[in-house]
Amino acid sequence: MAARARGEERRAEILRATLEVIAERGYRGATLGAVAERVGLTQQGLLHHFPTKEALLLAVLADRDRWDTGAGPSGGAGGWPLGLLASLVEYNAMRPGVVQTFSALLGESVTEEHPAREFFTRRYERVRADMAASLRTEYGERLPGGMAPEAVAPLLVAVLDGLQYQWLLDPEAVDMAAAFRTFVTLLGEPPA
């Protein structure tokens, strides 16, 4: 049990370091050597825990399937109330590292043969469905402007991602949280 625990700890350390390195250089730009160094291992020592670079990325993704804009308080049919989402955006504004890892990977994932592509495709499918459910819980079948929750969900997701890029590039110029609240205002008042 102790050995297992130590192994798990090492694994977690490695995944954390991998997130950092990906934030700095993306997945393609990340090297096993850089990750290894950060946890005090040789590159070959690292490969004992994860057999290939791709396996390491997939482990990171599997581990972090509940990220920032992620699945939310999932399982619960309601999903993310918009108020909670706004808090999440505020929280994210305090941890640029995580946002940067996520955004760099999303950007890379649209290129060919990228190992994160399938992960993101599925994730967005799920997130859109979750968001639609949240909107339905909050607004019912139609939003104030007359749109269906399913039509607005992709916009909600797009706003979250798009604001992250603008904010990462120029944190002084973009207030992610304020902008998101503006978007919520745009959606209109939910029926009481």
DSSP string, the chain: -HHHHHHHHHHHHHHHHHHHHHHHHHHHH--HHHHHHHTT--HHHHHHHSSSHHHHHHHHHHHTTT-TTSS-STTSTT---HHHHHHHHHHHTT-HHHHHHHHHHHHHHTSTT-TTHHHHHHHHHHHHHHHHHHHHHHH-SS-TTS--HHHHHHHHHHHHHHHHHHHHH-TTT--HHHHHHHHHHHH-PPP-
Binding to a second copy (CB under 8 A): which residues in 107-126? 107-112, 117, 120-121, 124-125
Asked whether position 65 contacts DNA by CB under 7 A, the answer is no
Q: Least distance to DNA from the beta carbon of 33, Å? A: 5
- The first and second tokens of residue 142, run together, are 């139609």
Q: Least distance to a second copy from the beta carbon of 6, Å? A: 32
Contact with a second copy (CB under 8 A): which of 73, 140, 188, 191?
Answer: 188
Asked whether position 97 contacts a second copy by CB under 8 A, the answer is no
Nearer to DNA, 45 or 78 (CB): 45
Nearer to DNA, 29 or 76 (CB): 29
Measured in degrees and rounded to the nearest 5, phi and psi for residue 82 equal -60, -35
Binding to DNA (CB under 7 A): which residues in 34-53? 34, 40-45, 47-49, 51-53
- The first and second tokens of residue 77, run together, are 């049919």
The binder of 1, among DNA, a second copy, none, by C-beta within 5 to 8 A per type, is DNA
Asked whether position 146 contacts DNA by CB under 7 A, the answer is no
Asked whether position 173 contacts a second copy by CB under 8 A, the answer is yes
Q: Least distance to a second copy from the beta carbon of 176, Å? A: 9
Of 176, 88, 101, the C-alpha closest to 127 is: 88
The binder of 87, among DNA, a second copy, none, by C-beta within 5 to 8 A per type, is none
What is the x/- site pattern for DNA, positions 3-22, by CB under 7 A? x--xx--x------------
The binder of 6, among a second copy, DNA, none, by C-beta within 5 to 8 A per type, is DNA
